[in-house]
Amino acid sequence: MGDHFFSAEPQSADVRRTVEAQIWGRSYVFTTATGVFSRDRLDIGTSVLLRSVEPPSAAGTFLDLGTGYGPIACALATEVPEATVWAVDVNTRALELTVENAKAAGVSDRVRAVLPDDVPEDVLFDEIWSNPAIHIGKPELHKMLLRWLERLAPGGTARFVVGKNLGGDSLQRWMTEQGYPCERTGSAKGFRVLRARRD
């Protein structure tokens, strides 16, 4: 079986390349590699999320859940100089790339690229940003989302982008049912942009 981007230790050869992206009016050049999500470009879902939502307006502690090679984490840290951004992924190659890309973007002091279990238990998040790994299956997806939604600070928000045909509307309902009121704030190219909150 070949690698999935959610494989913990990709077995494919580590072939690097660079991709260019425009995020919130700034130009970035990211290093990507085989064995990580969307290695050839900034994926459409993440692009829709970042075009649909303005960057945070205040400092805080942010989570980029399923960071991949780190475009969201790097952009958040660049736009909010006082922020601390936890970039979480199960893929160790992705985390290595996130460290490299944060350094290239000049934000390595504020981007913490770690495995899920390496986030200290007492850390709460003012905002969560994610293009979640829908393909891990609904039970695992729900388990993952609840784990991190429970870490939202009071009044915190979580922003997700999910394909409509991959259950974006049902996921919106599910989060509301779990006690995290969720609304759709955008829709483009077959993707739903969702905002959940912790009251």
Residue ranges covered by each domain of the chain? 44-197
Number of Cβ within 10 Å of residue 193's Cβ equals: 22
Q: What is the pLDDT of residues 3-50, one digit of tens each?
A: 444 445 555 667 688 999 999 999 999 999 977 866 667 889 999 999
- Residue 102's pLDDT band (boundaries 50, 70, 90)? very high
Average pLDDT for residues 72-99, to the nearest whole number? Answer: 96
- Residue 136's pLDDT band (boundaries 50, 70, 90)? confident
- Residue 184's pLDDT band (boundaries 50, 70, 90)? very high
Kind of pairing between the strands at 61-65 and 125-130: parallel
Tokens of residue 153, six digits = 């600070």
Strand partners, 85: 62, 111
Say whether pLDDT at 1 is over 80. Answer: no
Kind of pairing between the strands at 191-197 and 182-188: antiparallel
String of b and e for 17-51 (b: at least 16 CB within 10 Å)?
eebebebeeeebebbbbebbbbbeebbbbbbbbbe
- Domain at 44-197, CATH class: alpha beta
Distance in angstroms (rounded) separating the CA atoms of residues 46 and 8: 21
pTM: 0.91
How many CA atoms are closer than 13 Å to the CA of 97, on its beta-carbon side?
31
Q: What is the pLDDT of residues 54-81, one digit of tens each?
A: 999 999 999 999 999 999 999 999 999 9
Predicted pLDDT of residue 3: 41
How many CA atoms are closer than 13 Å to the CA of 134, on its beta-carbon side?
16
Say whether pLDDT at 181 is over 70. Answer: yes
